[in-house]
Amino acid sequence: MSWLVTGGAGYIGAHVVRALSAAGIAPVVIDDLSSGHDGFVPAGVPFVRGSILNRELVEETLREHEVEGVIHVAGYKYAGVSVTRPLHTYHQNVEGTRIVLEAMAAAGVTKIVFSSSAAVYGTPDVPLVVEDLPKRPASPYGESKLIGEWLIADQARATADTEAPLRHTSLRYFNVVGSADPSVYDTSPHNLFPIVFEKLIAGETPRINGDDYDTPDGTNVRDYVHVGDIAAAHVAAAQRLIAGEPIEAAYNLGSQNGLSVREIMDAMARVTGIAFTPEVGPRRPGDPDRIVATGELAARDLDWQMRYSIDEMVRTGWEARQNAL
């Protein structure tokens, strides 16, 4: 038996694939390479190039590889861009999740770990985000992830009294950084770490968007979590489903404390050895002072913990990016 990783050629998905293999669970990848890279898929791992929107292909993949469960990572992940491309975002994330669930039902696959997002909370006015906080997504991306959670929960309720009840969980997290494999790095043009790395490689000065927030150093504070820890939590969730153990509908993979953008910049200069003083620009509209999530439930059930310091997050990400030059 194997587990299908949708989006398994992407930055996060490729780390999940490696973590599954390390845990003795055979991974299978489906990815259309719209943002992933075939070189991120390890040799020997079955790779199906195609879209999760292709219902027949997804079902065929599930059947051919005798898939036991799905870790659903694939999706359009650009929250800011989703505001100007809402229909595309819903098509990829909502319709994509619906089709995955439909294919799973047809193939008799009854376990799913959904890679959701802390964007489902929007911009909460509390210092620490917990799972039962009201959901007020501030972008079509966040809305699409919340709808994905609803779809999965609805399908679980619909199948609860059948011979093949769906068991599931959703993992919510903010900013994923670093690398747990020197051949895999974040290629997103919208994430802070790769933006800073590309600036440094080009000999340019990174920029901070606003330094007058109500935080200790004036820059906004967010959760930054290492991709290796994120991948491990996805595998732990899959193992819990395999074992038939009780599992929550959703878990926050949070840092509990958060890091400020200036702390990130300081670590970038310290670890890379490239001295710079970041430029300071105006705030981005809608950016809250602080959003940090707790990870207590995930620590209880999924062995969730922050295993990497900020310097290790930067070092692993920088080394992986340097290896690609």
Which segments within 165-246 are labelled E, that is strand? 167-172, 175-177, 207-209, 221-222, 224-226
**How many other CB atoms are there within 10 angstroms of residue 9's CB atom?**
27
Backbone angles phi, psi at 190, to 5 degrees: -115, -10
Question: Pick the catalytic residue: 11, 76, 141, 185?
Answer: 141
Q: Is 251 a catalytic residue?
A: no
Q: C-alpha distances in angstroms, 54 versus 58, 59, 75, 245?
A: 6, 9, 14, 32
CB of 52 closer than 8 Å to CB of 96: yes
Structure letter (DSSP) for residue 293 = B
Residues 142-175: b if buried by 16+ CB within 10 A, e if exposed: bbbbbbbbebbbebbeeeeeeeeebbbbbbbbbb
> Which residue numbers are catalytic?
141
